[in-house]
Amino acid sequence: MVSLNKNIDLNRTAIGIELGSTRIKSVLVDKFGNALATGLADWQNRLSDDGYWTYDEDVIWSTLQESFKNLKASVHEAYNVKLNTTSAMGISGMMHGLLAFDKDGKLLTPFRTWRNNNTKEASQELSDLFKFNIPERWSIAHLYQLILDDEDFVNDIAYITTLSGYITWKLTGKKNIGIGDASGMFPIDSKIKNYDKDKIEAFDKILKVKHIGFKLVDILPEIRLAGDEAGYLDPNHYSLLDKDGDLKGNIIFAPSEGDAGTGMIATNCISERTANISVGTSAFSMIVLEKGLKNYYKNVDVVTTPSGNDVAMIHVNNCGSEINDWINLFKENLRLFGVNVSDDEIFTKLFENSMESDKDFGNLVSYGFHSGENIFDINKGMPTLIREQDNKFNMAILIKSLLISSFMPLKYGHDFLNAHEDLKIDKILAQGGLFKSGTIAQEIISEVLDFPVKTFKTAGEGGAWGMAILALYTRGYKKMELQDFLDEIIFDNVEEVQVERNDKVKEEVANYFNLYDKYIEDIKEIINKN
């Protein structure tokens, strides 16, 4: 990266948009990847009347438009320029889940997000059939569960895709998807950089037996690799993104990617023996493999980088939601007394204060299960806080407990994989909002994983920035290898932040793990029974 220039040429910029679980973020970058402006719009999933987590179709578009409008406002405020064009664009979204359409492009059932846990039967049957882990949140598990449940619209399905694939399709008219995002729909053969043919054939046999009228390959999006063209913004569909009608130009699209793929880009972890961790509502750890895993495991996904190389992915459904809820409660309390503080202020102050906690944090333990948790076979959400009798309770103890607990499910996944596979990791980079407020969260996750986890100064930019980088690569740098482009253009002068290992935090994490592990089976039984 180079220093910012207050005079910008929009024809040499790129835009990345990521539809995350709680907000849609739009980022404009210059030709070196410097973030010039951002636009944010908050949203929340809802539980539909039939019990599925979803985002309504009209809400998807209205929130996307709000995010882009806020990006335009940010650009105008900073540079006195109307954002009416860019050279390239890319869409990222929360991975997995299912959007299913008929031949006329009508959505057949509300978007089934990754958060739904209704596909256990399909997941198990397909994993056994393929001898390959098919997580409950994958698109193929959702599709097969529709078939097992004998949903009356199954034979009307003409196309299935992910959230980012859907947005890209509607903006360009092209039914394709980035390979990393596709690897959360159906298993990929990394040798041919496409869907696994043998597994496609195996699934088609199921379709034939169950008298389903389509073949799988006919309803899946085509696969694109990083640097490929995914299409151009359709002039007839500008208004889907820009309600003001300002946007125009010959805007190329990068292949859509999931939040896992953009996380790898945003941390420059696409080479073998590198790993990255992205934290938000959920969390995932991505380890780029030197060779295939010896076995397949229920809690380890095999997905790909945006270039199509195999990655071991540990995904947990719950991470930052519980601590966000508590901090929002504290903000509400402050407002009642007429005190207004920014998110950055309150997070930073509370995180710093948490370092004053006792090493046993009053035996206070949090289980922030806002949704079911695959790592523990917990089938629904029920956030729980346990305080043992006659122990100290204060703000520092509470925040430290919430912070450590945010990373606990990820620890169980890492410990499992380390026990079963001989993986070599040279470095781990982390990104996400929890790492924006000083180095406290970074110190904690380093001890939780017993590995020196690094961050970049760009740790808070997240997947939208990573998607903008992929768009930039598609437009102007695709003659370079992706790794060379990242090393030489994007991360050349970006500082890695590494914290000193802390004996106090190490002891706290060890104590916390013992407490967490002590109650986890009881918590699981209570939640699953209710």
Residue 381 scores a pLDDT above 60:
yes
- Please report which residue ranges of 290-394 form alpha helices under DSSP H: 321-336, 343-354
pLDDT category at 51 given cuts 50, 70, 90 is: confident
Region 62-74: mean pLDDT is 97
Per-residue pLDDT tens digits for 10-32: 999 999 999 998 899 999 999 99
Instruction: Please report the pLDDT score of residue 431 as a whole number.
Output: 85
pLDDT of residue 461: 61
The neighbouring-strand residues paired with 17 are 26, 91
CA distance 67 to 23: 9
The candidate with the shortest Cα–Cα distance to 89, out of 70, 68, 74, 66, is 68
Q: Please, what are the domains in the chain? A: 96-161+186-219 (3.30.420.40)
The chain-wide mean pLDDT, for the chain, equals 92
pLDDT tens-digit profile of 187-222?
Answer: 999 999 999 999 999 999 999 999 999 999 999 999
Tell whether pTM > 0.75: yes
Length of the chain: 530
Residues 6, 12, 14: CA angle, nearest 5 degrees: 95
User: What is the pLDDT at residue 2?
Assistant: 45
pLDDT band at 53 (very low <50, low <70, confident <90, very high): confident
Cα(191)–Cα(308) distance, integer angstroms: 9
pLDDT higher than threshold 60 for residue 4: no
Q: DSSP string of 126-164?
A: HHHHHTS---TTSHHHHHHHHHHTT-TTGGG--EEE-HH
In this prediction, what percent of the chain has a pLDDT beyond 90? 77
Least confident among 51-60, 109-118, 341-350 = 109-118
Question: Quick one: which H or E segment has residue 522?
Answer: helix 503-529
Helix (H/G/I), strand (E/B), else coil: 160: strand
| Conformational region of residue 203, where left means phi above 0, alpha means psi within -120 to 50, and beta covers everything else | alpha
pLDDT of residue 496: 84
Looking at residue 459, its pLDDT comes to 47
